[in-house]
Chain A
């Protein structure tokens, strides 16, 4: 199990493994955020949802003995938090950014409070899916042992793309997000559509949390998320509100997270902390590059950030 035996190959393999492992929470949260934003609202509370999901999944998996029950509970916990956010933003004059920050703080605090007793015990983990059996190198086999929730995320990404393009409901969501007045004129209920999108998006965020505590890193600690829920917001912009591009962007962010550790594994320690900052640098770069004075971004839902 030491990186030396495959030498420098450890770096790309480490990054690949990290992209998939570390990208999974990004993927699920960004898909949830993508769905929410497509309906014209922002949910910054997904960071809180992520932590709540991680804590719930771990606790329920420990109590019930089944990690899958834990995943389901995480989804439900996310949906519950989401419904609070959805209710808040449906009130007149409630700003979705402010409500999101409140939910972020609430979700985080609540997760820490409820999660205290679960820091010590070890809960049953999700089984990995081995795609690396063909290789005799243990590093490759380990890198390609992927989370079932990653597979779930990939499936959701493609389903979402199809839903937005080819179903009446998906197109209604886009209409609500782009022009609420037009949606209303078509007889679509703006508040109902947004409610569903925010709740479903939060459920995805909760499941993303389950990956953290039940697969990788695979334990419940308070430092488990390090802001992935917030970075997912930048990621959605980077992905131009396109679910399948969220997948590629998540892999990129996950990979960036793994650069530091992979270099360390081959013995390069210089700039370890600097490398660890790369996802944040990437987030900033994304913000700078996509910020343009020319019109609104192509693909950006028109009602995003508007008071309606």
Chain B
């Protein structure tokens, strides 16, 4: 018998049990007989490599997918959750891996719309008052009147977390919430959430790839591997290596490419007095000058929303510069397809599914974007060979270990980390890059993938590629960059090298002091 959800929502965290959950997509088994238990007031980590089935499992809890087999048991009763609204009624809420904000709506509209308790006719004055009161106690501040489409990834993520706090969710599922936050922002956010857990007001199920967060905040852990249960336990009884072994099934070869000492070549990428606006017309990049030599990685650190996104978009050709110029190898560069091909400029933008993919097109087609019109993919100047496209894609899929059912799967169906890998395969696969621009390239990747991408970037540098690395992960920048710039309010405010870097000073400049 199916019991309808309780009509006043729970005031305390529920006890959630998953029993033998199986979820298939066609013949592909994404989750196979997975069980776990989340007592009230626990902080539970769910980890596993890219494509292990973590997002799929929690989407079953949210009613976004329906599991073919198994039970979702809440406070001892087997329940059917067939939509996110049902989940809301049980006090369950989730921050999704891909953003679920409506881009054309303001932050305030998004928050209000997400709240099922808001009446059919909205009294904006009252709602705004409530929102402002809520924002006073919120862990981070976001301007309520900005359309969310104009926010950088990090800010969007903050809005997503704020949304759940605003909805008074009792069981919060976080799908890689901190990938786009700086470590200090992540600590702040998780710290605040942790204090609510400790007070017994909240349970959390956290999907993450960061061991730091597992050991810093979580009590218990469940590990998935290839859709199956691979282990569980109390965090305090486990070591990093135990968990890594569960994730990878013991087989894992560690390999770190060191930076070679090499003569730097001539300047490859140059930004001269670059200005650019946000969509709203407000200036986002305010006169940026930068020269990157061949064989050099220049890192740009900053809190998201300080012009990084617009800067990368200008170089990518997605946004016009209001003044100033981008030069590559001394020539003006307007990022046309021909220019990027001739100068071998490659790009890993943030939110790759949005900025570098066509979600409905297949993995093979997406991987072929750079070269589908060149031989051997195109023969005789105009005949596209699907076979050659598939073959080339298959080779890259294997080499970059992209987990996909086939080359013909729509890329939008891939797990978050695998979308990232597919784009990487396209951009770094041919190995011909001379200039590489990477924005948060490790957003949402498991540790093995992070390591492999860091190696790829370092190797590219060692080959003489000029790399611009924009990242909100300071550790990543300190590890990879030869030179580090801090961006604040659209301008470079501080320059240092990782060797001399002082985290505190960098932090102060990032915060705009």
Contacts and interface: CB of A to CB of B under 8 A. Distances in A.
B99 to A, nearest CB: 8
Interface stretch (B102-110, B195-203, B215-223, B337-345): B102-110
A183 B122 CA distance: 18
Interface in B73-99: 83-86, 88, 96, 98-99
Contact of B84 (A165, A187, A299, A302): A187
A295 B119 CA distance: 34
B279 interface: yes
Given A175-B113, A187-B83, A308-B360, A182 B102 contact: yes
B120 interface: yes
Interface in A274-296: 294-295
Interface in B352-387: 360
A302 B149 CA distance: 10
A302 B104 contact: yes
A183 B102 contact: yes
Contact of A181 (B63, B100, B121, B149): B100
Given A168-B118, A187-B84, A302 B103 contact: yes
A184 B64 contact: yes
B105 A175 contact: yes
Contacts of B63: 187
A169 interface: yes
B88 A187 contact: yes
B140 interface: no
A178 interface: yes
Nearest to A169: B120
B116 interface: yes
Contacts of B88: 187
Contact of A166 (B85, B102, B104, B121): B121
A172 B96 contact: no
Nearest to A163: B121
A186 B100 contact: yes
Contacts of A299: 104
Contact of B122 (A166, A181, A302, A308): A166
Given A168-B120, A178-B102, A307 B84 contact: no
Contacts of A301: 104
Contact of B105 (A171, A184, A308): A171
Interface string A166-194: 11110110110011011111110000000
A178 B105 contact: yes
B250 interface: no
Nearest to A162: B121
Interface string B254-283: 000000000000000000000000010000
B124 interface: yes
B101 interface: yes
Contact of B113 (A172, A181, A184, A308): A172
A220 B107 CA distance: 50
A185 B164 CA distance: 13
Nearest to A181: B100
A166 B124 contact: yes
Nearest to A186: B114
B260 to A, nearest CB: 41
B320 interface: yes
Interface in B171-226: none
A307 B319 CA distance: 25
A23 to B, nearest CB: 28
Nearest to A293: B320
Contacts of A183: 102
Nearest to B114: A186
Interface string B131-162: 00000000000000000010000000000000
A172 B103 CA distance: 13
A185 B96 contact: yes
Contacts of B118: 168
Contacts of A171: 105, 109, 112-113, 122
Contacts of A302: 103-104, 149
B105 A168 contact: no
A174 B96 contact: no
Contacts of B149: 302
B430 to A, nearest CB: 29
Contacts of B121: 166-168
Nearest to B149: A302
B104 A187 contact: no
Nearest to A180: B102
A175 B120 contact: no
Interface in B34-74: 63-64
A185 B103 contact: no
Nearest to A167: B121
A270 B145 CA distance: 53
Contacts of A165: 124
Nearest to B360: A307
B320 A294 contact: yes
Nearest to B361: A307
A133 to B, nearest CB: 37
A184 B85 CA distance: 10
A186 B122 contact: no
Contacts of B319: 295
A308 B101 CA distance: 17
Contacts of A179: 100-103
A185 to B, nearest CB: 4
Instruction: Determine which residue in B84, B102, B118, B124 has the highest number of CB atoms from chain A within 10 A of its CB, and name it.
Output: B102
A178 B99 CA distance: 13
A99 B457 CA distance: 48
A299 B103 CA distance: 10
B113 A168 contact: yes
A178 B103 contact: yes
Contacts of A167: 120-122
B105 A181 contact: no
Contacts of A168: 113, 118-122
Contacts of B64: 184-185
B384 to A, nearest CB: 20
A74 to B, nearest CB: 29
Contacts of B360: 307-308
Nearest to A185: B100
B104 A186 contact: no
A274 B100 CA distance: 50
A54 B353 CA distance: 46
A286 to B, nearest CB: 21
A295 B319 CA distance: 8
B124 to A, nearest CB: 6
A169 to B, nearest CB: 7
A178 B100 contact: no
A155 B288 CA distance: 51
A182 B116 contact: no
Nearest to A172: B113
A167 B113 CA distance: 9
23 contacts: A166-B121, A166-B123, A168-B118, A171-B109, A171-B113, A171-B122, A174-B102, A174-B105, A175-B102, A178-B102, A178-B104, A178-B105, A179-B100, A179-B101, A179-B102, A181-B100, A182-B102, A185-B84, A186-B114, A187-B84, A187-B86, A301-B104, A302-B103
Closest 7 interchain pairs by CB? A187-B85, A185-B100, A187-B84, A182-B100, A175-B102, A178-B104, A171-B113
Given A166-B121, A294-B320, A302-B104, 6 more contacts: A167-B120, A167-B122, A179-B103, A182-B99, A182-B100, A187-B85
